[in-house]
Amino acid sequence: MTRMKSRKLTDVLERVEAWPAELQNELALDLEAAVTGGEDQPSDRELTGIDRGLRAANEGRFASEDDVEAAFAKFRSR
């Protein structure tokens, strides 16, 4: 069986090699879960963000409708 990589994948993997090991490991786990249908586990960094978001929600800190619309408008203009 011949092993092949597309040119696009080869280019991305070359850039990924410069990433910190923690991010490379996170990417590897995410890819494996996506391909095998396995369960995706959040990283420590993601869990920290989730906790921060839950605290903000519990404190009633939400973006205003104007803030949300401004964010969408920013991305629509690209």
Say how many domains are in the chain: 1
**How many C-beta atoms lie closer than 10 Å to residue 33's C-beta?**
13
Taking the C-alpha atoms of residue 71 and residue 21, their distance in angstroms, rounded to an integer, is: 32
Q: What is the pLDDT of residue 5?
A: 80
Q: Is residue 2 part of a domain?
A: no
Q: Name the band, by pLDDT with cuts 50, 70 and 90, for residue 3.
A: confident
Q: What are phi and psi of 60, to 5 degrees?
A: 75, 20
Does residue 25 lie in a domain region?
yes
Residue 28 domain flag: yes
* pLDDT tens-digit map of 16-73: 999 999 899 988 888 888 888 877 778 888 899 999 999 999 999 999 999 999 999 9
Structure-derived torsion over alpha carbons of residues 41, 43, 46, 52, reported in degrees to the nearest 10? 100
Domain region containing 30:
7-76
pLDDT at 76 over 60: yes
Residues found in the chain: 78
Structural tokens at position 1: 């069986």
Is residue 1 very low, low, confident or very high in pLDDT (cuts 50, 70, 90)? low
Of residues 78 and 75, which shows the higher confidence score? 75
